[in-house]
Amino acid sequence: MSVNIIQALNKTLHEQFEKNDKLISFGEDCGYFGGVFRVTEGLQEKFGKDRCFDTPLCEQGIVGFAIGAAQKGLRPICEIQFADYIFPAYDQIVNELAKMRYRTGGQYTAPVIIRAPYGGGIHGGHYHSQSPEAQFLHTPGLHVVVVSSPYDAKGLLISAIRSNDPVLFLEPKRIYRAVKEDVPDEDYEIPLGAADIAREGKDLTLIGWGAQHHQNLQAASELADEGIDVEVLNLRSLNPLDIEAIKTSVQKTQRAVVAHEAPKTQGFGAEIAALVMEKCFLYLKAPVRRCCGLDTPFPHTLEPEYLPDAGKVKRAAVETMDY
């Protein structure tokens, strides 16, 4: 059945709640209202207020409560209404949640999922458009997943639910309803740490994740008309990272461009560029290029100038080919 990302996530939550009575979901407006984007719609009505409920406007409390619930045998799926709101919970996430397994010598785990809509494209301005993934990728013990399609959303969410480690589950709100595809009714898992080669090519590797992946696909399609054969790699999981998929692709194409919405300086693209240099230096015909958001707060009226759209990605690829 063809569904969008919101529908895929909602249906998956309903199915998994039926199968596992340890699952609970909570956050600001997540209960009766079903979430500001309606991802948790119907959960409270079907499973009751003990398993899906609203919380105060306190992100630190949301994550702190999730940590405690996980220690008591539950498997919390909490929602941060916008990823931009996650920073009051930063201490709980990086100092408590991510370190639980390590600090207890493996005696306790922290099977917590933190869902958060992220990224631009909805004219939300600087408090509703940020991409904070890099600020959590410096934290050992925390998985970071970014979905880009309904099919991936279901498979990655099921894998996250069955993981005993905490997962920051980022959902690109720009394409929540814009991307539709067939999603199987049966359960399936997409392993955390498995990238997807969405388009095979021989001239250049284009690496991205989330909503940016669709800009990369568009750029690759347009470049094909100009005789440039681009391989498009959708990472899906940023930690664990599929280093072998990156290495194999870049060694084949001998050129790489990394594109992401977050600011360029110390964005995750810099880490990928460094990894490519370490693993593929002798194969490269050109320096690894980054096509990213600007080193400014996310603008409201100038959003199109900020986002690395297909045209900007295409120019970065051409410049890399012309090096």
Could you give the CA distance from residue 239 to residue 59 in angstroms, rounded to a whole number? 23
Same domain, 136 and 255: no
Q: Is 134 helix (H, G, I), strand (E, B) or coil?
A: helix
In a domain, 303, yes or no: yes
Lookup: tokens for 135? 């600020």
The CA–CA distances, whole Å, from 102 to 95, 153, 240 equal 11, 28, 17
Query: Residues of the chain with pLDDT > 70: what percent?
Result: 100
In a domain, 85, yes or no: yes
Same domain, 13 and 95: yes
In a domain, 191, yes or no: no
pLDDT for 138-163, tens place per residue? 999 999 999 999 999 999 999 999 99
Catalytic residues, which ones?
Answer: 128
Could you give the CA distance from residue 273 to residue 139 in angstroms, rounded to a whole number? 19
Same domain, 133 and 214: no
The stretches of the chain forming alpha helices (DSSP H) are: 5-19, 43-47, 59-71, 90-91, 100-103, 134-137, 150-161, 212-224, 243-253, 268-280, 303-306, 310-321
- Asked whether 125 and 300 are in contact (CB, 8 A), the reply is yes
Same domain, 177 and 213: no
pLDDT for 28-49, tens place per residue? 999 999 999 999 999 999 999 9
Q: What is the CATH number of the domain that holds 77?
A: 3.40.50.970
Instruction: Return the ∠ at Cα 207 (arms to 182 and 145), rounded to 5°.
Output: 60
pLDDT interval class at 96 (50, 70, 90): very high
Same domain, 300 and 162: no
Enter the pTM of the model.
0.97
Q: Span 289-304, mean pLDDT? A: 95
Give me the number of domains the chain comprises.
Answer: 2
The domain of 43 spans 2-182
Burial class (CB in 10 A: 0-12, 13-18, 19+), 79: buried
pLDDT interval class at 191 (50, 70, 90): very high
- Asked whether 194 and 237 are in contact (CB, 8 A), the reply is yes
pLDDT greater than 90 at residue 1? no
